[in-house]
Amino acid sequence: MSFFEALASNSLLFAALIAGFAASIVSGVIGSYVVVKRIVFISGSISHSVLAGIGLSLWLERAKGINWLPPLYGALIAAVLSALILGWMRINYRQREDSVIAALWSVGMAIGVLFISQTPGFNVELSNFLIGNILWVTPMDLYLLWGLNLIVVATVLCMHKRFLAICFDEEQARLQGLHVNRLYLILLVLIAVSIVLLIQVVGIILVLTMLTIPAAIANLFTTRLSTMMAISVILSCLFCYLGMNIAYDLDWPSGATIALIACITYAICLPLGKRLHSVRS
């Protein structure tokens, strides 16, 4: 059975593709801000801190019988809290920003590992969150993913010009009367939500690939942020589709396949982007 035939007959595969497209939108839009503002390291800290929320959720469910906090919600709470802590620390302790990022990265992972070590049984869900399993998405997850997706896109549409100002020149933004610190915190929260969306597709380990690679490729060919976002979204959707197609044909893990295709494309585009830049210069 071909991938097209499987999409028509397998509702799980079709739902997974829809989830991939939902994650691709925030990947392209928010990833462009991450690349332009050069906060990939901060995004990495948020993505790994998510393990604390997932570990707590699984421990509550398996060890205590508490089911009101699904892993996806635990991940979302941990991501947003990490984003707010990082933002607050950057605003108040800018000189120690790199140390704070590394510390929060490590603490989030450590808390997650501790909870997981106390959780009875083999955690298939944990494996899915770590390496990604887009076929694992449920109808409820789809509603949550698209709901978060709409919130992120609507916020960006309303605040794009202000985000643009703080991405390129915070001092000039302050002179224009913008609340730079507040805008920075909002941007970090949007990054946190985007990371949770992408974890459903490629997992915690590979999330930075989908958050940054499409935007980095787009940045090779354009300097206009809105164009960069549009190209990034298209590339992300293409990577998801090709990755799932190849993973289906070769029986590979879908998340790893998507990330691998993105990295190979970036490697191919790097010399092309360099040549284009030379021509423009």
What's the chain's average pLDDT? 86
Q: pLDDT category, 97, cuts 50, 70, 90?
A: low
* pLDDT score recorded for residue 268: 92
Q: What does the pLDDT read at residue 143?
A: 85
Specify the higher pLDDT residue, 234 or 128.
234
User: What's residue 279's pLDDT?
Assistant: 61
* 150 token code pair: 């709409």
Residue-wise pLDDT for 221-234, tens only, equals: 888 899 999 999 99
Q: How far is CA 226 from CA 28, 183, 198, 212, 275, in A?
A: 10, 18, 21, 16, 22
pLDDT band at 95 (very low <50, low <70, confident <90, very high): low
pLDDT band at 99 (very low <50, low <70, confident <90, very high): confident
Q: What is the DSSP string of 121-168?
A: S--HHHHHHHH--GGG--HHHHHHHHHHHHHHHHHHHHHHHHHHHHHH
Domain boundaries, the chain: 3-280
Element spanning 104, H or E = helix 97-117
Q: Which two tokens stand for residue 215?
A: 């935007």
User: What is the rounded average pLDDT of the residues 198-206?
Assistant: 83
Q: What's residue 68's pLDDT?
A: 83
Average pLDDT for residues 102-112, to the nearest whole number? 88
Q: What is the pLDDT of residues 23-81, one digit of tens each?
A: 899 999 999 999 999 888 888 889 889 999 999 998 998 888 888 888 888 999 999 99
Q: What is the pLDDT of residue 184?
A: 92
DSSP 251: T
Per-range mean pLDDT, top range of 122-131, 134-143, 202-211: 202-211
Share of the chain above pLDDT 90, in %: 37
Please give the CATH topology (third level) of the domain spanning 3-280.
Answer: ABC transporter involved in vitamin B12 uptake, BtuC (1.10.3470)
Q: Report d(CA 128, CA 120) in Å as an integer.
A: 17
Taking only the tens place, the pLDDT of each residue in 154-180 is 999 999 999 999 998 888 888 888 899
